[in-house]
Structure 1
Amino acid sequence: MALGRRKITDEPAEIDMTPMLDVVFILLIFFVVTATFVRETGIGLQQTAQTDQPPPKELKLATQTFQIAEDNSIWLEGRRIDIRSVRANVERAHAENPRLQVVIEAHPKARTASFVIISDQAREAGVNDIALTTMP
């Protein structure tokens, strides 16, 4: 046995990946557990197809149509109304017919805020059946 001589081996050097994988999985678990899942709120819309057949008489609903022009002015039955009077008009029509449907006919260039305000005021007046259409 000679001093200072080392035995040379032909085995290649390997890196043990197990500790690194453990750390990655621990970080993954940490981020999944601490992540906050936010439920975004929005307006639910239902797409319905137009048919030429009128609904049966027992299912016929009374409708009140609000029109939003390109300049965001609101029209009801051919007269211009203020945004603050939407709720009063819906409450009056809802008192006459409890199965009232509010239809909002908006110009494609009208602001979304006008639709949101009208639908919110209709819901506050007790009407949950609200439809959105676009002007031709």
Structure 2
Amino acid sequence: MRIRDHRADDEPEINLVPMIDVILCLIIFFVVTTTFDNRAVLRLQLPRANGEPAPTQSQPLTVLVNADGRYFVADREVLRTDVEALKRSIAEVAGDERGRPVLLRADARTPHQSVVTAYEALGQLGFRQIMIATAPEQRNAKVGSK
């Protein structure tokens, strides 16, 4: 009588369940620890001004202009910098809401022409409530010294 050794028949296998558990835990960790802030997308240096922000009744449409003169409507980048491309992007995001307030956030180092182009596109589309985002003016501790 021949007795077989069944240990030789066992095929090695890789168990994927623990690896999938670890990957899911990592995904959950990264999703929970990620901050979703639209200001983190672009680093803008806003111009300084004194004054109080005006209260708004509805969520404004945000148009960002970075230091290089690139436009961002809401969270969408406008690929070209001409008026027609900017108007098309604004119209897609805003739809028919021309009475909606617009918040224009332009970097302090932005070329003046880029800001004027944004104003022109908004004006041609019929937007009349345009606000400019500014940072509060920093007060020096020492008066009269530089």
Return the TM-score normalized by structure 2.
0.47
Larger Rg: 1
Question: Offset of 1:94 from its aligned partner?
Answer: 4.8
1:86-119 C-alpha deviation (Å, 9 max, x unpaired): 2123334150x34211211011101111111111
Cα distance, 1:68–1:123 mapped onto 2, change above 3 Å: same
The answer for unaligned runs of 5 or more in structure 2 is 1-49, 137-146
> 1:67·1:75 contact (CA, 8 Å) conserved in 2?
yes
Q: Counterpart in 2 of 1:66?
A: 63
- Equivalent residue for 1:49, pick from 47, 52, 65: 52
* Matching of residues 1-136 of structure 1 within 5 Å: 49-50=52-53, 55=56, 60-81=57-78, 82-83=80-81, 84-92=84-92, 93-95=94-96, 97-134=97-134
Residue in structure 1 matched with residue 30 of structure 2 by the alignment: none
**What SS class does the counterpart of residue 119 from structure 1 fall into?**
helix
Give aligned pairs, total: 83
Q: 2:67 & 2:101 partners in 1: Cα distance?
A: 23
CA RMSD of aligned residues (A): 2.6
Q: Structure 2 CA distance, aligned partners of 1:48 and 1:116? A: 22
Bigger shift: residues 74-83 or 100-109? 74-83
Q: Alignment partner of 1:109: what SS?
A: coil
Quick check: 1:64–1:101 contact (8 Å CA) kept in 2? yes
Asked whether the 8 Å contact 2:73–2:89 carries over to 1, the reply is no
Cα–Cα, structure 1 residues 100 and 94, in superposed 2: closer, same or farther, change >3 Å? farther
Q: Distance in 1 between matches of 2:86 and 2:69?
A: 14
Amino acid of the residue matched to residue 85 of structure 1?
A: A
